A and B are shown apart, each in its own frame.
Chain A
């Protein structure tokens, strides 16, 4: 929907800058422009069905909900001289964690923070495109293809910002006898190297994350780390196998190491927002959506202390707002669905659960 259109519906808001989203915007939709969407979410970040629906409904509109508002309030008030605070979004599968993270990503982008965004960690754990044993780190595994993709995603998200910041490496990275990145060279060079040389891409990612950490501490930039499906890093299973068919645990990935070091609270001038989801783990570990259960002992010890933020089902106001949106977009076409009785039925049958409602209302 074009931004210039006057908005009179109660389920929409004019406020398009997430930095200004407050409590009274709760339950209202704000639209994200195509350019922003392209910049932030080309490499992932919006759930597939949600993205397709937004394309069908002619524009990405995200509902402003309490978890995101809470996070924005905290981020606005954060003392960035203190060690980084870690926020963990938790809730049932399909309750809106990824969308809240997308909202925060937009906030971070508007706030001029460097975005370190992992769209969905289980993609690296469950569907790796070819893990190779690492050369530099013994007994660990690289993700060459995924690292290249991630670097591309990073540069798309932070392209303009990186140009403005002109960050430099602080140490020398030797890749091979002939290749090295000297200290003091621009970070963009590091990123380009990683994008071109898949062999060294994983280590480039690790190096980049290290550099960003140092840059944040020295106040050259502010970093926002957003990771969806964080608990997959501590999953007891992965699809990567050694030659003897034994399973490689995610903690033996170089990428895991890199991101875990970034999510430690031993640096300042940043924020870490992470989500844990039951669907990131194997079937037998999906009993409870709560952070302690989902992270496991290792993950909990790594992230502790953190601020847990629950992403609940729709409140009544949010539910009606969602239905209003669907009606306005002509997605709910049955005249009966538009009545009060219809709304009550939809509310009951979906249990006010966002994903269930989306599936219930879909024609396929």
Chain B
């Protein structure tokens, strides 16, 4: 069934009207196109009974009906969602007024425990906005006249955006000229605010614009944005640009390095529990040491293979802590490779508390602080192994 999310459409004449790009209000709000603030004007567009005596084509009629049905559907879903939220709050014994989406998620997880692997397959209860895809509302009126001036480009929002960029670029140039003409020499153009983020991918742009783009169109858009953001005064349009950028994960998660603990004799130490494949390791690194190592009560020769010993020594050597700290580790499960890998990660994580920030960064770049998520791949039916197939016979 076609699902429409009702949108308000900006009347075409307002597009070229008074619109200041230097206002704080961004062009796109809440991830969807909101070109019109006035809702009331739309009322008539959907009211079939009060329309003109002019004949409406069947296609038009069915289009209007579909829009209305969808509109009602979404309203109904929203109503049910809100009622459902209150029911859930009652069930969970919480206050319905302050029942947030996070609380809803937790309640669903509790009431409908699921062992399914993919989070998207598990039961969920979310706001209809998040479930039902957004779609453009009526793009033309009862008489079939489109509201958007660029409607016949078939991608009005995309081309609007491109035009906007061009217009804004010219405005920034004019601003720059004004600055120069006023002789404000010391006004430095603002720095790049693009660090730590990247342009949103094609899919996301399509979601924002509610139109499908070809790869060439997307690339064109990005190139235009790049050119735009390279203008010295582009920071004035920062909010506009940032709507189309997303933060990179590494900048957002900065892990807190735990403080060193002290044991009875006053020696600093740090513990960490890790795993690799199915083996678990509990590692304790004790400062003011001489390089004593104990794995499950044995010395380094617990691992007979040289490669396993090298795994253990790597973080200590890399951070120059060999012979300065003692290591006590217990490990079980899986094989020697996984065990030594788990201990290596444990030692690296513990050493973070002993070394300076620069060394931690170097360790991160060396891959010492990354958890190895690889696990044994499942054997599939109809195959000999995870990837290996049975012998293929031509006949």
CB within 8 Å of B: which A189-226 residues? none
B230 neighbours in A (Cβ, 8 Å): none
Does A349 have its Cβ within 8 Å of any Cβ on chain B? Answer: yes
Partner of A351, one of B300, B310, B316, B317: B300
Q: Mark A335-364, 1 if CB is under 8 A from B, else 0.
A: 000000100110111110100100000000
With A341-B317, A341-B322 as known contacts, state yes or no: A348 contacts B291, CB within 8 Å: yes
A350 neighbours in B (Cβ, 8 Å): 300
Does B367 have its Cβ within 8 Å of any Cβ on chain A? Answer: no
B301 touches A345 (CB 8 A): no
Does B65 have its Cβ within 8 Å of any Cβ on chain A? Answer: no
A349 touches B309 (CB 8 A): yes
How distant is B294 from chain A, measured CB to nearest CB, in Å? 11
| Chain B, residue nearest A353 (CB) | B301
A344 touches B309 (CB 8 A): no
Interface of A toward B, CB cutoff 8 Å? 341, 344-345, 347-351, 353, 356
Does B299 have its Cβ within 8 Å of any Cβ on chain A? Answer: yes
B309 neighbours in A (Cβ, 8 Å): 348-349
Which of B299, B306, B310 gathers most chain A CB within 10 Å?
B299
Does B331 have its Cβ within 8 Å of any Cβ on chain A? Answer: no
Does B165 have its Cβ within 8 Å of any Cβ on chain A? Answer: no
A344 touches B323 (CB 8 A): yes
| Chain A, residue nearest B312 (CB) | A348
How distant is A346 from chain B, measured CB to nearest CB, in Å? 10
With A344-B291, A348-B293, A349-B313 as known contacts, state yes or no: A356 contacts B301, CB within 8 Å: yes
Q: Mark B185-203, 1 if CB is under 8 A from A, else 0.
A: 0000000000000000000
The docked-state distance in angstroms from the alpha carbon of A349 to that of B303 is 10
The docked-state distance in angstroms from the alpha carbon of A350 to that of B300 is 8
Partner of B300, one of A341, A344, A349: A349
B317 neighbours in A (Cβ, 8 Å): 341, 344-345
A349 touches B323 (CB 8 A): no
Interface of B toward A, CB cutoff 8 Å? 291, 293, 299-301, 306, 309-310, 313, 316-317, 322-323
How distant is B143 from chain A, measured CB to nearest CB, in Å? 84
The docked-state distance in angstroms from the alpha carbon of A339 to that of B293 is 22
B291 touches A351 (CB 8 A): no
How distant is A354 from chain B, measured CB to nearest CB, in Å? 12
A356 neighbours in B (Cβ, 8 Å): 301
How distant is B358 from chain A, measured CB to nearest CB, in Å? 19
Q: List 19 A-B contacts (CB under 8 A).
A: A341-B322, A344-B317, A345-B313, A347-B323, A348-B291, A348-B300, A348-B309, A348-B313, A348-B322, A348-B323, A349-B300, A349-B309, A349-B313, A350-B300, A351-B293, A351-B299, A351-B300, A353-B301, A356-B301
A347 touches B313 (CB 8 A): no
B313 neighbours in A (Cβ, 8 Å): 345, 348-349
The docked-state distance in angstroms from the alpha carbon of A351 to that of B300 is 6
B291 neighbours in A (Cβ, 8 Å): 344, 347-348
A345 neighbours in B (Cβ, 8 Å): 313, 317, 322
Question: What are the nearest 7 A-B pairs in CB distance?
Answer: A351-B300, A344-B322, A351-B299, A344-B323, A349-B309, A348-B313, A351-B301
The docked-state distance in angstroms from the alpha carbon of A341 to that of B291 is 13
How distant is A286 from chain B, measured CB to nearest CB, in Å? 13
The docked-state distance in angstroms from the alpha carbon of A348 to that of B323 is 8
How distant is B328 from chain A, measured CB to nearest CB, in Å? 15
B299 touches A349 (CB 8 A): no
A349 neighbours in B (Cβ, 8 Å): 300, 306, 309-310, 313
The docked-state distance in angstroms from the alpha carbon of A345 to that of B322 is 8
The docked-state distance in angstroms from the alpha carbon of A348 to that of B308 is 13
| Chain B, residue nearest A340 (CB) | B323
B322 neighbours in A (Cβ, 8 Å): 341, 344-345, 348
| Chain B, residue nearest A352 (CB) | B299
How distant is B303 from chain A, measured CB to nearest CB, in Å? 10
A348 neighbours in B (Cβ, 8 Å): 291, 293, 300, 309, 313, 316, 322-323
The docked-state distance in angstroms from the alpha carbon of A109 to that of B197 is 81
The docked-state distance in angstroms from the alpha carbon of A350 to that of B317 is 15
B293 neighbours in A (Cβ, 8 Å): 348, 351
The docked-state distance in angstroms from the alpha carbon of A348 to that of B294 is 12
A344 neighbours in B (Cβ, 8 Å): 291, 317, 322-323
| Chain B, residue nearest A349 (CB) | B309
B323 neighbours in A (Cβ, 8 Å): 344, 347-348
| Chain A, residue nearest B313 (CB) | A348
Which of B291, B293, B300 gathers most chain A CB within 10 Å?
B300
How distant is A268 from chain B, measured CB to nearest CB, in Å? 42
The docked-state distance in angstroms from the alpha carbon of A120 to that of B314 is 39
How distant is B316 from chain A, measured CB to nearest CB, in Å? 7
How distant is B263 from chain A, measured CB to nearest CB, in Å? 23
A347 neighbours in B (Cβ, 8 Å): 291, 323
The docked-state distance in angstroms from the alpha carbon of A27 to that of B299 is 22
The docked-state distance in angstroms from the alpha carbon of A347 to that of B291 is 9
| Chain B, residue nearest A350 (CB) | B300
How distant is B149 from chain A, measured CB to nearest CB, in Å? 72
How distant is A353 from chain B, measured CB to nearest CB, in Å? 7
The docked-state distance in angstroms from the alpha carbon of A356 to that of B300 is 11
| Chain A, residue nearest B323 (CB) | A344
| Chain A, residue nearest B301 (CB) | A351
The docked-state distance in angstroms from the alpha carbon of A348 to that of B313 is 8
The docked-state distance in angstroms from the alpha carbon of A347 to that of B324 is 13
The docked-state distance in angstroms from the alpha carbon of A351 to that of B291 is 10
